[in-house]
Amino acid sequence: MIHKDMFSHLIPIAKSHGRSISTYIHIALLMKGKRVIAMAKNKVGSRKQGCGYANRMIHAEIAVIKKFGNMKGLKGLQLVVLRYGPGVKGWVYSKPCPHCSIILEKIMREYGLQKVYYSN
């Protein structure tokens, strides 16, 4: 878990990431130190758009890894998953679904993703 103020400087990025925020969204960032390497959000789609979609959704965690596209390049990177919503001045509690937990554990074990943080 991360402290709610730890990534407060990323709120403007969240607000500008593709739409105005009228519902809660998750934003995932692959980071090396304090540098953002890749960023994605949860979105609706289908398996026609490729792997990673389940029940017509792709969660931010999987979307950012798919967007990054280099599994071996994940070694030493950190994944930060932040949940943001309307009328909120900071990040809100987030946790991985069972499907994402399994995938992320495997990626950490097999490809060296260093750490995964969720907002709280």
Reported as a pLDDT band with limits 50, 70 and 90, residue 107 is very high
- Average pLDDT across the chain, whole number: 78
Q: Which of 83, 77, 79, 106 is nearest to 95 (CA)?
A: 83
* CATH no. for 8-118: 3.40.140
What average pLDDT does this structure show over 1-10? 52
DSSP-derived secondary structure for the chain: -B-TTTTGGGHHHHHTSSS--SS-EEEEEEEETTEEEEEEE-EE--GGG-TT-BTTEE-HHHHHHHHH--GGGGTT-EEEEEEE-TT-SS-B-----HHHHHHHHHHHHHH---EEEEB-
For the chain, the structural domain boundaries read 8-118
**pLDDT tens-digit series, residues 36-79:** 899 998 877 655 555 555 556 788 998 999 899 999 999 999 99
Q: Which residue has the higher pLDDT, 93 or 44?
A: 93
